[in-house]
Amino acid sequence: MRIRFLVPGNVRHGSGGNKYNAKLAEHLTALGATVETVTVDGDWPVGSAADRKRFAKALDGGTTVIADGLVASGSPDEIAGAVQAGTKVWILSHMALGEHHDLEAKSLAAAIGTICPSLHSAAELQDRHGTLDITVATPGAEPADISEGSRPKHIVAVAALLPNKSQTILVDALAELQDLPWTAALIGSEEADPAYAAEVRAAVVHHGLQDRIRVTGELTGQALQDQWRRADLSVLISQSESFGMVVTESLAHGVPVLVRQGTGAVEALGDTGAGTAWDPGESLAGTLRAWLMEDALRERWRDNALRARDHLPGWESTARTVLDALEAPPR
C-alpha cells in the first residue's frame, strides 16, 4: 500500500504528535507499506488561502492519505474535493481543536475515516461532533534501559515548556518541599512559547531553587538518556493531554509517573499502579511529599513500574491497527 502522510510544518519542537507521526510512518514502512511523509507549511490549524491551496496540492495524487488533524481539521473543502477525486483521506486527530468547531466537524465528515491515539481523544471528538468512524491506535513504547535512580531522589518533567503543561505549578509545589532532599529537571523546548518559558525560569529564581531545579531545554540522545537513568519519578500534569506518550516512555524505564486526573495521561498510566493521578483540587505538594517521605509508597510505585515495562505494546501494534483500518473495505 502507498500512503502519503501529511504533517504540519509549524510545530518544530519535539511534540508528542510529531513523535507519534514519525514512529507511525517508520513502522508502517516496516510492515511493508510505502510511506511518503510530506511536511505542509502553513499557519495551521486554519491557515491562509495560500496555505490551504498548498494542502490541497499535497492531497492530490495519492490513493491513500493520512493527514495530521492540525493541518486537516481546518480545511474541509480541500478534503472533500480530494475525496471526490478518488483520494482516500484519513484524519489523524491527536486532539480536538479548541476553536473552529464547525470547520473541524465538516473536515471529519468529509474524510474517509479518523484515527485517534487514545480512547480519551476519541471520546472528546465524539462529544464534540457526535458519532464518527474512529480507529483508536494507541502509541507504542520502545524498549529502554531501567533507571538507576538517584540520591537525593530526582524528579523529571519531560514536556515542552507550554502553559498547558503546567510547569509553573510544579515549580510552586516543589518550592513547598525545600525541607526535603530532592532534585528536579524540566526537560523540554523553550522555543514553542518563549514567554511562558521565561515565566518558568523566573519561578525557579523566585523560589531560590536554581541549585535544585534545572531547566534543560529540549534534550535528545545521550543527554536525555542520562536524565532517564537518574530519574525516580516522572511528572506530567498537563491541563489536557490526548494520551501522554511520556507516560509509557517513563514506564519503559521503570520510572513511576504522576499525572493529572481528567486527561488522557490517566489512560496511558492505566491500572498499573505505577504512580497516581493527581486531583487538581488537592495539594500537589502534598502528593509529592508523600512520595518523598513514604518508603513503602515509593517502593510500591517503583515495583509496579518495573512490572508494567514488561507489558507495554510496541509501535508495530500501533502501525498494524492503522494499516488494517486503511486496508479494510469502506463501512
Beta-bridge mates of residue 222: none
At 121-164, the pLDDT tens digits run: 999 999 999 888 899 999 999 999 999 999 999 999 999 999 99
Extract the C-alpha cell encoding 282. 488537592
For 154-311, give the CATH class.
Answer: alpha beta
Beta-bridge mates of residue 233: 155
pLDDT at 96: 86
Q: Do domains 2-140+314-327 and 154-311 have the same CATH topology?
A: yes
Phi, psi of 261 (to 5 degrees): -60, 150
pLDDT at 331: 63
- Tell me which residue has cell 483521506: 89
Q: Give the number of other Cβ atoms within 10 Å of residue 85's Cβ.
A: 10
Query: Taking a C-beta distance cutoff of 8 angstroms, is the pair 44, 10 a contact?
Result: yes
pLDDT at 43: 85
DSSP track, 216-236:
EES--HHHHHHHHHH-SEEEE
CA distance 252 to 145: 8
104-112 average pLDDT score: 95
158-179 average pLDDT score: 97
pLDDT at 300: 98
Q: Which residues contact 166 (CB under 8 A, 6 or more apart)?
A: 237, 238, 239, 260
pLDDT at 61: 67
Extract the C-alpha cell encoding 11. 510545530
Side-chain half-sphere exposure of 16, counting CA atoms within 13 A: 30
CATH no. for 2-140+314-327: 3.40.50.2000
Buried b (16+ CB within 10 A) or exposed e, 258-269: bbbeebbbbbbb
Beta-bridge mates of residue 4: 36, 65
DSSP classification of residue 42:
S
pLDDT exceeds cutoff 80 at 297: yes
Provide the residue ranges of all domains of the chain, joining segments of one domain with +: 2-140+314-327, 154-311
∠100-95-269 over CA atoms, to 5°?
155
Could you tell me which of 88, 116, 72 has the C-alpha nearest to residue 1?
88
Helices (H) and strands (E) counted in the chain, each on its own, are 14, 12
